[in-house]
Amino acid sequence: MLACATAISVLLYLNRPTSEIVEPEYIPVTVDVAEVVKENLHINIQAQGTVTPLRQTAILAEVKGRVVEASPAFNVGGFVAQDEVLLRIDPRDYQTALLRAQAALESAESALVQEKGRAEVALREWQKLPRGDQRSKEARDLYLRKPQLELAEAQLLAARADLNTARDNLERTIIRAPYQALIRAKHSELGQFVAAGSQVADIISVDYAEIRLSIPQSKLGYLNLPGLGESGEGAPIDLFTDVAGEVRHWEARLHRTEGTFDERSRVLYAIARIEDPYALNSPGREPLRIGTFVTANIEGKEIQDVVRLPHHLLRAGNQVWIVDESSRLRNRKVTLLRTGGDDVYIRSGLDEGDLVSLTVLDNSFDGARVDVVSTTPSNQLELKPSSESPIIESVSGETRQITRSEASRSTQSETEPG
């Protein structure tokens, strides 16, 4: 049995088939690339803030009395025009005081006329006296009734002042809006007695609104900020916020800066101004209410020779995949100007015409040969990555392309029980 087994083994070994050496077939990875195009861009800066009124005023009663009339718009949330009557205080006491002041003025005018007449009579009598009489200047003035004349003139001035005060107090019984405003709060009502100096309402202006935006010190170089002490029409600003799941936008302007850095956060506060926030003069436009928390997209100054790419192409260490002249993948380190949001701005490291891979790859593909499927200029790329952009994965030593949605479904199937 041993001899038979040995003979069979020798026979099988001698009749073995010859082995053929086959070169491994390499399938290049297919990628999409972006052709680098340098641009002159305005880099926008985002900040957040709360809408506040340009002016807010506490309306106080200047005279005392009972409120006898209130405007129909005198309600919290009501809009009032400039010089519109808000409240009227009972004017009867002040009308009486005005009549008394007018009577006192007429009496003072009459007394002045009488004193002028007496002074003329005294002057004629003085001229008839002998010239050699020695009299002091004080005696002469007293004889000519100059002190009495000055007293009558002073009483006339006092009567005119009392008349002006009485007229002003009568006007103060009518409380008016100093500007176009929204009534934020009211502290008095029809029939209520108010004292002089008591608060009757709080109002805010609606012609302009402002937003206080914090700008980090590192981002100031991207903006055209107004100079110290200057204000006016600065850079355009896009204000937006989410209202019931819908993003609403408003236009504003950078108006001024506060001029000092915050000592704790090291930020500079810039003031954005929006005209007609409640859209009173623009029917159909969405109102921007005071107190709304908004995000401001501030247009920056123009920066030349900048490459803009989607943020998801940037790898660890500020590197991107480059397809070289031999169609092989290479790592390229770049210098960033700014990152944020869905885009990245590259200042150096990429030349005009370089091909940047849009396909997400891991580090194992460094130096791999690729086939370019499509080429898109970098200035025409969408900043947000597509949900179907290919991802290259390695499975059992083989490479294949899958989409993001497939990867998501695969991950979900692995995590599901059973």
Q: How many domains does the chain have?
A: 4
Nearest Cα residue to 286 out of 294, 276, 296, 295: 276
Same domain? For 71 and 179 the reply is yes
Residue with tokens 């916020």: 241
Q: Which domain holds residue 66?
A: 56-90+174-205
Q: Tell me if 271 sits within 8 A of 258, measured CB to CB.
A: yes
Q: Tell me if 121 sits within 8 A of 143, measured CB to CB.
A: no
Q: Tell me if 37 sits within 8 A of 378, measured CB to CB.
A: yes
**Of 59-73, 225-239, 294-308, 348-362, where does mean pLDDT reach its minimum?**
225-239
**Of 151-155, 166-170, 202-206, 386-390, where does mean pLDDT reach its minimum?**
386-390
Q: Residue 395: pLDDT band by 50, 70, 90 thresholds?
A: very low
Give the tens place of pLDDT for each residue, 278-290: 999 888 888 999 9
Nearest Cα residue to 234 out of 220, 254, 211: 254
Give the tens place of pLDDT for each residue, 375-384: 888 888 765 4
Same domain? For 191 and 60 the reply is yes
pLDDT at 257: 87
Please give the helix or strand (H or E) that residue 38 lies within, else none.
none
Same domain? For 62 and 195 the reply is yes
Q: Which of 302, 319, 351 is the last residue of a domain?
A: 302
- How far CA 229 is from CA of 18, 177, 226, 255, in Å, comes to 92, 30, 8, 11
Residue with tokens 């009173």: 280
Question: Does the structure show a pLDDT above 60 at 208?
Answer: yes
Q: Tell me if 366 sits within 8 A of 373, measured CB to CB.
A: no
In a domain, 4, yes or no: no
In a domain, 13, yes or no: no
